[in-house]
Amino acid sequence: MSKLKMVLGGLALFGLAACAGMQMPAGGVWGPGYQDEGGSSSAGSGVAVPGPNAQAMSYGEFEQLKVYVEEATMSNQKIDVIVNASQSAYFSAAQVGELVVMLDMKNDRVRVVEAVAERILDLNNPNPIVTKLTFADEKSDVQNIMSEALAARQAEEARLAEEARVAEQRRAEEEAQRAEEARIAEQERQQQAAQQPDNSGSSSTSSSSSSSSSSSSSSAYCCLGDKYNECDSGAAAGACMGFGKCIFDCMVAGGSSCDSKCADEYPLIQQCRAVAANDHMCRN
């Protein structure tokens, strides 16, 4: 059972106890004594059963309640719960805190309402809806309840933070796994492409012999950028290969990447390497 729900619901509805004679927003009536779930009533203590559609107390209503509490405590009146059994309102955490401090400073006989029955917590609303309340008369109980509530709230916040951290870590791991799977798939695709036989080998050989005897206008043997490790002749690829990756591999690696695949075109590889060294372009 959450002590946080206890203090938020219990102390809030304790504040409602101070509203003798006031009209409740949802049509419930403030009055002396209380009515419990069985219909019995008694003065001097209270049970509150907020409805499932309980509304937050407005600023004006809260200010009016504070005036009443001020008058009641100055005249040393006891403050008892008076809540309609079917409708109610709740306070925000800030309002609860303000009310508790106000009462604690002015009245040694403050009765703190402690929620003891099952709570119903609306996940869309941080304020619990309490099904039943009883009283704790000792001020020491107040401190215990508030201390336990604070500890419970901190534990809840830590739990939520840990859940968020675990969720973020899981998301990052899944994203990294997807990236690794994509990298492996791309690597396998490249390896398969590199292992495919060059159907234009004979034509490439013949074009290399004619191109090697010509000047830089000859068709250089270059590597297509979109195929990376798959080599095609410059003639087959088109007029210019401006940003192929493999040619730079050839240039930097000293021929280990491409020259072994294209040994019959080695003179053209050298020529292409020289052109690339000049302007980073692989031209016919």
What is the pLDDT confidence band of residue 215, given thresholds at 50, 70 and 90?
very low
Mean per-residue pLDDT, 70-80: 55
* 40-44, 190-194, 275-279, range with greatest mean pLDDT: 190-194
* Cβ 18 vs Cβ 72: under 8 Å: yes
pLDDT per residue over 117-155, tens digit each? Answer: 223 333 344 444 333 333 344 444 445 555 666 677 778
What is the pLDDT confidence band of residue 82, given thresholds at 50, 70 and 90?
very low
CA distances from 255 to 110, 249, 270 (A): 90, 8, 9
Mean per-residue pLDDT, 163-189: 90
* 74-78, 105-109, 191-195, 261-265, range with greatest mean pLDDT: 191-195
What is the pLDDT confidence band of residue 165, given thresholds at 50, 70 and 90?
very high
* Cβ 86 vs Cβ 99: under 8 Å: no
Q: Which of 28, 8, 19, 23 is nearest to 69 (CA)?
A: 19
CA atoms within a 13 Å half-sphere pointing along the CA-CB vector of 238: 8
Euclidean distance between CA atoms 36 and 49, whole angstroms: 8
Helix and strand numbers (H, E) in the chain are 8, 12
Euclidean distance between CA atoms 145 and 168, whole angstroms: 34
Euclidean distance between CA atoms 262 and 222, whole angstroms: 10
Element (H, E) at 5: helix 3-16
The pLDDT, as a whole number, for residue 46 is 32
What is the pLDDT confidence band of residue 33, given thresholds at 50, 70 and 90?
very low
Q: Which residues contact 216 (CB under 8 A, 6 or more apart)?
A: 271, 275, 283
pLDDT per residue over 255-281, tens digit each? Answer: 455 445 444 455 555 555 555 444 444
